[in-house]
């Protein structure tokens, strides 16, 4: 199936129509989405600042991570669900929006950064858990994480404020 047809089908779905036409639903979903993003970014920021030696230095990294990661994942699941619901009523235009695709790519890259950290750097956490500075790889991962998630938020905001003119064959009004 052609992606534009898929987006049209999503946009014409009953759920999309309900979100788009029921008073206040879109706004409530958007508010929950923003709160979920705040939860994700807040948790990640505290963890990354601990890795950088800027915050929570009086606690072992493993303790900070353990306490915050569950909240990060809860927020991420809520943000993904509400994000999908925000996509539905505008699937055709958002599906063609360059900023949306950059945001999605940044989320994937941030996930890869986290996976590399977990599979490589965090394996030796017992050695550096209470020490500062943390290993260079941990600090690089933390700085990259902050940069990537900040960019995700910026491009997410740009989605709603950019016209779809990315298609060189599209008519420009």
Domain ranges of the chain: 3-159
Residue 133 burial (CB count, 10 A): 11
pLDDT digit string, tens, across residues 20-78: 999 999 999 999 999 999 999 999 999 999 999 999 899 999 999 999 999 999 999 99
Mean pLDDT confidence for 104-108:
98
Higher pLDDT, 46 or 168: 46
CA distance 108 to 22: 33
| Statement: residue 103 has pLDDT above 90 | yes
pLDDT digit string, tens, across residues 135-146: 999 999 999 999
CA distance 117 to 102: 22
The reported pTM is 0.88
Q: Which two tokens stand for residue 145?
A: 């994480």
Q: What's the pLDDT band for 164 if we cut at 50, 70, 90?
A: low
Beta strand residue intervals within 66-110, DSSP E:
none
CA distance 50 to 46: 6
Predicted pLDDT at 165: 52
The torsion angle over the Cα atoms of residues 93, 97, 99 and 102, rounded to 10 degrees, is 120
Residue for token digits 């420009």?
Answer: 172
CA angle (153 as vertex; 137, 49 as ends), nearest 5: 35
């Amino acid at each position: 199936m052609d992606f534009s047809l898929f987006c049209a089908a999503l946009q014409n779905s009953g759920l999309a129509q309900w979100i788009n036409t029921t008073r206040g639903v879109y706004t409530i979903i958007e508010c929950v989405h923003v709160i979920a993003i705040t939860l994700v970014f807040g948790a990640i920021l505290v963890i990354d600042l601990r890795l950088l030696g800027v915050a929570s230095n009086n606690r072992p990294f493993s303790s900070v991570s353990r306490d915050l990661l569950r909240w990060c994942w809860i927020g991420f699941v809520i943000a993904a669900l509400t994000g999908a619901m925000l996509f539905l009523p505008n699937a055709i235009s958002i599906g063609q929006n360059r900023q949306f695709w950059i945001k999605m790519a940044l989320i994937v890259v941030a996930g890869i950064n986290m996976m590399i950290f977990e599979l490589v750097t965090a394996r030796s956490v017992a050695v550096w858990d209470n020490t500062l500075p943390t290993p260079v790889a941990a600090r690089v991962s933390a700085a990259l994480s902050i940069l990537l998630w900040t960019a995700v938020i910026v491009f997410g905001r740009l989605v709603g404020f950019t016209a779809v003119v990315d298609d060189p064959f599209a008519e420009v009004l």
